[in-house]
Structure 1
């Protein structure tokens, strides 16, 4: 399904038009802010009364309700194939993704989880785009990916020095989540779906598949949590994560391309570390600060567009 309202992909002097790129960076920055807070807010609740099952139910249940008008309004325009695509997207960036990250959180720590999954995602996205789609990355991006990986390694070593080596199973779960996220990113750009449509379909399929298991399986602990904690998670998980963050990330991918948008996502450990200082009382060590600086340098390199435009770089406007 194509969108007739696209921004021309005309290039001037081999560089992208500045206005769409600036808008894409703004959408990516908003996404990074929301995702960074997600690791902190989720860790805050799962160490108290609520469990990851409650977080997942709030995230996709409320998200499905809020975004239902999008599917109702577009039901005659969305082809049957779009619903199948949405199901695939839900398998990549819906409940399975959340549960894998939750497993990683339970086996490692909030700081390590916020470092591993978002940092590996642009590496997987760049590698997959190069290997399977023939996208030219350029030496700057490869250098940026190398710097991001080096920064991640330094973060893990610094964490191991203070709290022991991380769990191999936890790292594996977070790496799998990052790979799924990367595949979703590449598929979304070629799906023809608008950002809000993709977000609505992910929430719809996730709610349909998970909520019956949640309700019939007796997994709820909402009755044990206070109203304030439930309200916090309902707003952050159901509104910001399931609605706003998916939409803003999709817009960033549409405007910047998958490689640049996913590279900016690697800034999440930096923002999450800053948020953890006042909320969780966690202060990064000097070694962790140096590692974060290396990651930032890698992001600045990897987020740059190579000379020729990326294939299929169609910039969809919000419908």
Structure 2
């Protein structure tokens, strides 16, 4: 009898711990969603005017590297060479190549289309890869959520492309970026790096690989843009996306797990559509509203509580 009571107490404590961890993870994910949602609008604004894809990438990782470098370079925080190799892989998946693909997709499509494709492709790919390669049992509730996200994505993409067909090259670039993002989240979750360490390595490696070519080949168009536009991009690309969003998303993955955290990012199209109302005066159509609602329901299902067998898994880093 005493043994049974001890088991029940342990189970209750485990569930309570999971709930606290999940709440913190949801808050980190919410901050990431807020930043990502505005990023598509801000990036689209510049790549269709004076600044180019190359400028956006340089600002994001140049500023991000300066801000986050102390996390891995200061005395007492030196990382082993294996961690730097892991960081290089992360940079190839969610660093400069990812930003270049998304920026190209934004240039060839629109902010609404880009926000509908890349963030929602990512959780679908992550869920499938987790099931196939990591043997993570998603359960019928999560699979239903993934199906709802996919259905909402199809409806939303169709709704925002009724006036002009999407560019095949742009859609391909965005879908590829979403797939790379998904692979990164799965690898990061199983790595030994903290949120800020992974973010720092992504920025440092991306800056080291991209900035020399950016300068050598004279790709800069910064001189053609206004001071206010450069200031906006410096803050949003360099500070918010290059530093803050990398850390907040990594933290959400650490606390929620890859499947739930990536599912939350599928809310970006919904958040971006809502932001467009006061910022751009664009009110979603009835079809867009239905699609957004379906995506929200899908996210709630896909981010649902895992089976009781997985509740013993703890986050890999402490706050």
Instruction: Give the TM-score taking structure 1 as reference length.
Output: 0.92
Preserved contact between residue 34 and residue 240 of structure 1 (Cα < 8 Å):
yes
Aligned residue in 2 for 1:308: 308
Give the match for residue 7 of structure 2.
none
Residue in 2 that maps onto 1:95 = 96
Equivalent in the alignment of 1:212: 212
Summarize deviations over 1:157-207 as a string: whole Å, max 9, x none.
21232x132122221111111110000000001111000000000000000
Q: 1:309 to 1:268 in 2, by over 3 A?
A: farther
CA–CA distance in structure 2, aligned partners of residues 74 and 123 of structure 1: 40
Q: Does 1:120 align with 2:121?
A: yes
Q: Is the 8 A contact 2:53 2:104 kept in 1?
A: no
Q: Judge conservation of contact 1:199–1:247 (CA < 8 Å) in 2.
A: yes
Q: Which runs of 5+ in 1 are unaligned?
A: 1-9
Counterpart in the other structure of 2:134: 133
CA apart distance, 1:309: 4.8
Structure number, greater radius of gyration: 2
Corresponding residue for residue 4 of structure 1: none
How big is the alpha-carbon RMSD for the aligned residues of Structure 1 and Structure 2? 1.8
CA contact under 8 A between 2:105 and 2:170: conserved in structure 1?
yes
TM-score w.r.t. the length of structure 2 is: 0.92
Q: Structure 1 stretch 137-146 or stretch 95-104: which is displaced more? A: 95-104
Q: How far did 1:308 drift?
A: 3.2
Aligned length: 309
- Corresponding residue of 1:5: none
- CA offsets per residue over residues 91-120 of structure 1, 9 Å max, x none? 000011011111211221110100100011
Give the unaligned 5+ runs of structure 2: 1-9
| Partner residue in 2 for 1:184 | 184
Q: Report the alpha carbon displacement of residue 313 of structure 1 after superposing the two structures with TM.
A: 3.9
1:11: how far off?
5.0
Inter-partner Cα distance in structure 1 for 2:108 and 2:232: 24
Superposition deviation, residue 78 in structure 1: 1.2
**1:139-154 to 2 correspondences below 5 Å:** 139-154=140-155
